[in-house]
């Protein structure tokens, strides 16, 4: 019964958050069970473009290391802030949310080439946290009961905590930088004099992922209109 309740609760989570979180957990489980090796997952430009192992462009965002405190810490932030974005500023805009993932993933991959970064899931987490924090500037965040501060400071607190765990802050800085580029292009530049939206979600994504918009000029048939039941 407990598992059924947990499954029901998980199915109520928005689709993108549910899919990405499940993919991360299943990838880590497969590594723990030795069904996969991290060497099959990491980003390697030579293997991607010369050996056509294109799955590495995706799998490097799904592996957060072996089961342990660091893994659960990252999963907590992925699930929480991905869900809050999807249920908040991206509510009803699944295609735009997926496009943000694609934009961030492509930019991180290109910049990751410069820093020889092999796994970029933590950078994607930092990007999600950064975008949420900039869109929620008035929210006060309680950081594990240790600190309380305004939301815009959260990405930097997360980076400091990663440093305490012995992780490289380069990955967090990459995620923050990409998050800032997205936030600027999506939220700041269009509102400037002469500015416009540069990040336009492809129409095929909207067609696949978003509910069709109702035609304001559509007139329902008489039998579809509300009214007293006809005998």
Its sign, for the CA torsion 202, 204, 206, 212, is positive
User: pLDDT for 63-76, tens place per residue?
Assistant: 998 888 888 988 99
Kindly report the average pLDDT of the chain as a whole number. 87
pLDDT at residue 228, as a whole number = 52
Please count the other Cβ atoms lying within 10 Å of the Cβ belonging to residue 12.
8
The residue assigned the tokens 């290391």 is 65
User: pLDDT for 96-133, tens place per residue?
Assistant: 999 999 999 999 999 988 878 899 999 999 999 999 99
pLDDT at residue 213, as a whole number = 64
Mean pLDDT of 168-185: 94
User: pLDDT for 18-52, tens place per residue?
Assistant: 999 999 999 999 999 999 999 999 999 999 999 99
pLDDT at residue 231, as a whole number = 43
């Amino acid at each position: 019964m407990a598992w059924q309740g947990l499954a029901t609760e998980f199915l109520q989570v928005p689709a993108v958050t549910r899919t990405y979180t499940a993919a991360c957990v299943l990838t880590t489980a497969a590594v723990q069970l030795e069904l996969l090796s991290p060497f099959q997952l990491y980003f390697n430009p030579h293997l991607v473009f010369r050996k056509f192992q294109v799955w590495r462009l995706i799998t490097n965002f799904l592996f957060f290391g072996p089961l342990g405190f660091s893994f659960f810490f990252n999963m907590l932030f992925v699930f929480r802030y991905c869900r809050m974005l999807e249920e908040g500023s991206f509510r009803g805009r699944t295609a735009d949310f997926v496009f943000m993932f694609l934009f961030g993933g492509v930019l991180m991959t290109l910049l990751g080439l410069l820093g020889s970064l092999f796994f970029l899931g933590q950078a994607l987490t930092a990007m999600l946290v950064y975008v949420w924090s900039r869109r929620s500037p008035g929210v006060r965040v309680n950081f594990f009961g240790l600190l309380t501060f305004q939301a815009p400071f959260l990405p930097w607190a997360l980076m400091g905590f990663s440093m305490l765990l012995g992780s490289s802050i380069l990955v967090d800085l990459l995620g923050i930088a990409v998050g800032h580029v997205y936030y600027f292009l999506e939220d700041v530049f269009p509102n400037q004099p002469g500015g416009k939206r540069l990040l336009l979600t492809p129409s095929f994504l909207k067609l696949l992922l978003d509910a069709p918009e109702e035609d304001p000029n559509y007139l329902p048939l008489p039998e579809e209109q509300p009214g007293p039941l006809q005998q």
